Amino acid sequence: MLHLLSVLALFSCEEFCEESARTAVAAKFYVDGNETAVSNLTIQGLRNDSVLYRNVSRKDVLLPLNPTSDTTAYLMKVGDAPADTVTIVYSRHAAFISAKCGCAGFADITEKPAHTLHLIKMIEIVNPSVGQVSYRENVVNAENIRIIY
């Protein structure tokens, strides 16, 4: 009986590994010091055709980082205004999660993100440590950067 309880305890403690988790910067939008939703927002990766968000209203977004580079850039467009370019520079590292999950990618933002000045006034780093996020829920629980309009 004790052996059965040990086996059940082992499996109940085992970590759930999610295949849709990726390293992504959690960004929140601010206007006049207040977190706010941005309407008609479109975000796509620069130098690729990936559209992350198209004509949405969001107060936060997940910006995936390129796992083979130390720089990722995005075009952020609000309505009919000219698109802003945002460039994030980071250092990549792997960390062991568990035997079942293996290693996962993480990053640290190493420079203040560069950006154009069409609508974006400033970008602040809140937490430079970028971890794994789940795209299944598309929920932003942390905040790595603040994009201020």
Look at residues 21, 12, 8 and name the one whose alpha carbon lies nearest to residue 137: 21
- Cβ–Cβ < 8 Å for 84, 115: yes
- Predicted TM-score (pTM) of the model is 0.80
Burial of 104 (0-12, 13-18, 19+ CB in 10 A): middle
Instruction: Average the pLDDT over each of 31-35, 92-96, 137-141 and give the range with the smallest value.
Output: 137-141
pLDDT band of 62, cuts 50, 70, 90: very high
Domains of the chain by residue range: 18-148
Q: Coil, strand or helix: which one is 31?
A: strand
What dotted CATH number matches 18-148? 2.60.40
Tens digits of residue pLDDT in 70-113: 999 999 999 999 999 999 999 998 777 677 777 778 899 999 99
What's the rounded mean pLDDT across residues 33-45? 96
Q: Which is more confident, 4 or 47?
A: 47
